[in-house]
């Protein structure tokens, strides 16, 4: 039996010709669902937390610190899951140009 996880909530804060800025809020155990990134992007964690990533190469774990940004390339495919016991949030900035 598959356990249903709660969904992370995306809130688009800005979408123009150059960027899409989205805040992602995760309840404990919340997930984005599988998706593929169309653009290069930057993630800015708003709190310390642990994300579990389901990828085509297998599971990965990312330990994040508030305010410590990272970047990934367009084409990245994964499901992002809050691996912590507390709510977690980050801001994702997708670079259109």
In a domain, 16, yes or no: yes
Domain that holds residue 26: 9-92
Count structural domains, the chain: 1
pLDDT of residue 64: 97
Query: How far is residue 69 from each of residues 7, 32, 59, 89, 93, measured CA to CA in Å?
Result: 23, 19, 21, 13, 10
pLDDT of residue 3 exceeding 80: no
pLDDT grade, residue 1 (50/70/90)?
A: low
- Burial zone of 81 (CB within 10 Å; 0-12 exposed, 13-18 middle, 19+ buried): buried
pLDDT of residue 4: 87
pLDDT per position as a tens digit, 20-71: 999 999 999 999 999 999 999 999 999 999 999 999 999 999 999 999 999 9
Residue 25 maps to which CATH number? 2.60.120.10
In a domain, 2, yes or no: no
Q: pTM of this prediction?
A: 0.93
In a domain, 1, yes or no: no
Answer whether 41's CB lies under 8 Å from 94's CB.
yes
């Amino acid at each position: 039996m598959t356990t249903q996880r709660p969904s992370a909530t995306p809130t688009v804060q800005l979408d123009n010709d150059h960027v899409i800025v989205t805040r992602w809020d995760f309840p404990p155990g919340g997930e984005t669902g599988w998706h593929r990134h169309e653009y290069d992007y930057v993630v800015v964690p708003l709190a310390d937390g642990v994300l579990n990533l389901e990828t085509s190469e297998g599971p990965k774990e990312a330990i994040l610190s508030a305010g410590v940004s990272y970047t990934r390339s367009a084409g990245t495919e994964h499901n992002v899951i809050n691996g912590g016991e507390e709510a977690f949030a980050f801001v994702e900035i997708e670079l259109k140009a």
